[in-house]
Structure formats: structure tokens, C-alpha cells
Chain A
């Protein structure tokens, strides 16, 4: 049985707005395997060489790889650089 879409997603689709433009939304842009830009990051939870975990609101994004570091912050976006192996989402507490 398909999951029910949340209310905001429904509004967004009706108004033809991208989900990230609405509250609670986020967007990821992966450039190759070396650079990931995350828009909508609320907090940096873990910052280690091989793991960086970001809070995107109700969702946690864990980036695994090697030599990971945040190279830029600005405009509400966080840019991660390094060798990116996996991206995984997990449910998190709202911050």
C-alpha cells in the first residue's frame, strides 16, 4: 500500500512548487563522488573523517566515505567534499 504523501507535498504538487521550497524541505546536489551540496541543513551532528551526519529536520542524512570535510557554508547550504561512498537517510528528532 503506497505511503500517504504528507500535506505539504500535496500543496507543493498542486501549486507546482518544489518540495524543498516549502517548510521542512531539503535538497541534495551530488557532483561526481567528491562534492555534495545539501540545502536545508539544520545542524551538523557528527563531523568525522569518515562520517558526517547532518540533521535536515525530521530526517538525518549520514554521508560515509573518506577524508570528508565541510568546505563551504552559506546561503543555508552546506557543501561536503571528500570521497563519498554512501548516503543514507534515517528518521531523526525534529530540531
Chain B
């Protein structure tokens, strides 16, 4: 039956009275019907023959004036004839062939492996800047040149290897090794990170040069890494330890009574863009009378087939118009907001130190509310300051 479809078939209607004569013609030519169906009432027979056989049978039947006629023609040749009769179908078939052929000439996907701290998006951006991205023309792609450009452009990437497998590029990345930490043997002093009053120095390496209750300035030495020994002269060491001190910090928060608030007007515009192998085209937009003040929300959606991202997608851009409206706050609202902001700032500042005391002054003017808070913390103010000795 598949053979009959591929070569084409013809259904012939043979009248019951001429059946014997017609089938005798079939016998003489050695051509049998592929299938037969007899009408129960009239006795007429519909037989399916190949197109070439049907032509011969019709010619001989016409010679003998037999009542045989074609009721249906079908198969691939007929389908092709009907398709080719329509210009749109021909154009569609040609476009499909062109797409099929050209699909092998562009890069469909990029697979990135070996990243640890870098994100795949960052690597893809670097690759795109170097000339490799989804939709690029494969015959013109020089993977070695791209790899060299990527390594030179980003210091975080130590090595890149690009392998092409069909229309997929596999990129192996090795990130640069982190800088080695400072050697623990480098001599260093401990100095004050900020002003404060020493509460408790805990020095376990080096010489402590401050006492509890002493006021120190930022940068002042708290513990020295130069040790003067009695027998062996001067010895250099890396001072280590902690110096707990009371420090003071001032926070200021101002909340105005009037402020500008963004209010959306309700008007919006949209644009839809379709991308295909790196080429993009707008398919819809109604941004004719857009205003200047609007938020732009862009959503990119790439089509996915299974685990494979296809090199085509849709970008939807929405524009929402807004206007700035002056809004008034009451004094109570302004004060509450200022206190909340102050609390947040103090909470952040207290994450690595202990808050001992705070004094807050409130000032109200025509413009707004101002809170000035002086906070006292207890914290470790010692930091290492390395020094180098010429030998």
C-alpha cells in the first residue's frame, strides 16, 4: 500500500454489466486490482489500480466501449501536483528546505562547563563579546581566536577551550586561581582602626603598648611587632590579638514632611519582539503616543525543548506611565519613619559589635524631622599593619 501511495493510484468504477469484459482485459494484460469493492445493490465494482495500469486499462476499455470511469486519483504524485499548484505551498516548501539547510550553518546552543565563582551569564557575555553566541554563522567562526580573546578580556578566566559538535559549542572554562594570602610570617603591628578608649587589650603575640582606660586615635599602635630581646637584639614578629575599646558613632536620620511619590497613571504600552538565530524583529507594538516618564519592564523568554534551549525566543517590553505626586506626611508618620530608619542603621552597625548606650536627640523643623543618635559601642579595634624591613 505504501508503494501504491508513493507511485500514485486510481480508483476505477466498473459497471456490473461490463465487469466480465473489463476483468478479461485485466487478465490479458496481467494487471490485477490492488483492492476491489462491490456495491451490494447495483453490483458495480470499484477497483484500485496503479496510475500506469489504470491508463492502459482505460484505453482498452474505451476501445471496447466499456462503461469504466475514474472516480478518484490519489497518492504522492497527486499530492505533489496540488501542492505545486499553490504558490504559497511552493514558497513554504522552499522556505522549509532553506531553513533545514541553513540550520546546520548556525550555532544553536552554547554549553558552558567548569565555572565555579563565575556565572554562566557572565561567561556567555564574554563569549558574545569575543564573537561566539547563539545564531552566529558557523563557517566564519574561529574557535581558537574566540578563546584567546576571552582569556585576554577577563582576568578571572585562566583558560578557555571551545569545541564544536555539530551545531552546539561546548565551552570549558578554568577560572584564575585566587591570590595567595599574606604570609603569616610577615611582621606586623596592631594599630587602632578608629578612635576609642581601651577597655581590655588581649595580646598574645607582640608587645602591648596600651593600657586599659587609655584613649587611642585611629592608626595608633596598640601592639608592636618589634621585640627588643635582652640577649639576641631586636626580633621581629607578627603582632596578634584583640583590643576591646569603647567607640562612639553618630547617626543622623532626616525625614521630610513632603516627598515625591511615584504613582502609576494606568496607561501602558507593549512591544513584542521575536528573536530567531540572533535576528530580532518586532511583531507587535502600540507605543505610538508614549510619554517620557514610564517604567520599562523587559521580559525575555527563550523556548526550551526538553533540556535544550532553542536559539529563538520572545521579548516582551511593557511601558508603564507614572507621574510624581507630592505627598504630605504628618509629624507622627515622619517621626515613626525616622525612628525605623535609625533602628535599621543601628541594627546594621551592631552586627559585629556590642551597643552599650545610645542617646537620641529629636529635632523638628518646617521641613521635617531629624533624629541625631550618638551610640557607644564596644568592639575590637585592632587591625594588623604590616611593615617591611630592608635587609
> Residues of A with Cβ closer than 8 Å to B?
41, 43-49, 53, 67, 69-75, 78-79
Distance between B111 CB and nearest chain A CB, rounded to angstroms: 59
Q: Report yes or no: A70 in contact with B23, Cβ–Cβ below 8 A.
A: yes
Residue contact B27 to A69, C-beta cutoff 8 Å:
no
**21 A-B contact pairs sorted by A residue (CB < 8 Å):** A43-B27, A44-B21, A44-B23, A46-B20, A47-B19, A48-B16, A48-B43, A49-B38, A49-B43, A67-B38, A69-B45, A70-B26, A70-B27, A70-B32, A71-B36, A73-B26, A73-B29, A73-B31, A73-B32, A78-B27, A79-B32
Contacts of A44 in B (CB 8 A): 20-21, 23-24, 27
Please name the 4 residue pairs, one residue from A and one from B, whose CB atoms are nearest each other, closest first: A47-B20, A47-B19, A44-B24, A72-B32
Closest to B16 in A: A48
CA distance A69 to B44 in the complex (A): 12
Q: Which of B24, B29, B30 has the most CB of A within 10 A?
A: B24
Which residue from chain B places its CB closest to the CB of A52 in the assembled complex? B20
Q: Which of B5-56 contact A (CB under 8 A)?
A: 16, 19-24, 26-27, 29-32, 36, 38, 43, 45
Q: Which of A41, A48, A78 contacts B19 (CB 8 A)?
A: A48
Residue of A nearest to B30 (CB): A74
4 other A-B residue contacts (CB within 8 Å) besides A43-B24, A73-B32:
A47-B22, A48-B19, A73-B30, A78-B27
Q: Is the CB of B27 within 8 A of A41?
A: yes
**B27: chain A residues within 8 A (beta carbon):** 41, 43-44, 70, 73, 78
Kindly provide the distance from the CB of B29 to the nearest chain A CB, expressed in whole angstroms: 8
Complex formed: what's the CA distance from A72 to B31 in Å? 8
Residues of chain B lying within 8 A (CB to CB) of residue A75: 30
Alpha-carbon distance between A72 and B27 when the two chains are bound, in angstroms = 8
Chain A residues within an 8 Å CB radius of B31: 73
A72 to B43, CA, bound (A): 20
Shortest Cβ distance from B26 into A: residue: A73
Report the nearest A residue to B24, measured CB to CB: A44
In the complex, what residues of B have CB within 8 A of residue A67's CB? 38
Q: In the bound complex, do residue A71 and residue B32 qualify as a contact, i.e. CB atoms below 8 Å apart?
A: yes
Is the contact region of chain A dominated by helix, strand, or loop, or is it mixed? strand
Nearest residue (CB) in A for B36 is A69
Assess whether A69 is in contact with B32, with CB atoms less than 8 Å apart: no
Q: Give the CA-CA distance A67 to B178 in the complex, in Å.
A: 90
From B19, B29, B38, B43, name the one whose CB has the most chain A CB atoms within 10 angstroms.
Answer: B19
Bound CA span A79–B27, Å: 10
B20: chain A residues within 8 A (beta carbon): 44-47, 53
Distance, CA A71 to CA B34, complexed state (A)? 8
A47 to B16, CA, bound (A): 8
A70 surroundings in chain B (CB, below 8 A): 23, 26-27, 32
A79 to B33, CA, bound (A): 12
Known A-B contacts A48-B16, A48-B19; the reply to A69 vs B38 at CB < 8 A is yes
A45 to B21 CA separation, bound complex (whole angstroms): 7
Instruction: Find chain B residues with CB under 8 A from A78 CB.
Output: 27
B32:A74 contact, CB within 8 angstroms: yes
| A73 to B30 Cα, complex, angstroms | 5
Point out which of B20, B31, B38 has the most chain A C-beta atoms below 10 A from its C-beta: B20
Instruction: Convert B241-256 into 0s and 1s, putting 1 for each residue whose CB lies closer than 8 angstroms to a CB of A.
Output: 0000000000000000
Nearest CB of chain A from residue B252's CB, rounded to whole Å = 104
CA distance A68 to B24 in the complex (A): 15
- Which of A74, A75, A79 is the most central at the interface, judged by chain B CB atoms within 10 Å of its CB? A74
Give CA–CA (A69, B36) in the complex, Å. 8
Q: What B residues does A79 contact at CB under 8 A? A: 32
Q: Which residues of B lie under 8 Å from residue A45 when comparing CB positions?
A: 20
Complex: A75 Cα to B19 Cα, angstroms: 21
Chain A residues near B21: list those with CB within 8 A: 44
Residues of A close to B36: CB separation below 8 A = 69, 71
- Closest chain-B Cβ to A83's Cβ sits at a distance in Å of 13
Chain B contacts for A46, CB-based, 8 A: 20
CB distance from B157 to the nearest CB of A (A): 74
Please measure, in the bound complex, the distance between the C-alpha atom of A78 and the C-alpha atom of B27, giving whole angstroms: 7
A33 to B16, CA, bound (A): 24
Complex contacts, B32 vs chain A, CB 8 Å? 70-74, 79
Question: Looking at the complex, which one of A47, A49, A74 makes contact with B23 (CB distance below 8 Å)?
Answer: A47
Complexed CA–CA distance, A43 and B23 (Å):
9
Q: Which residue of B lies closest to A46 (CB)?
A: B20
* Measured CA separation A53–B45 after assembly (Å): 17
Q: Give, as a whole number of angstroms, the nearest-CB distance from A46 to chain B.
A: 5
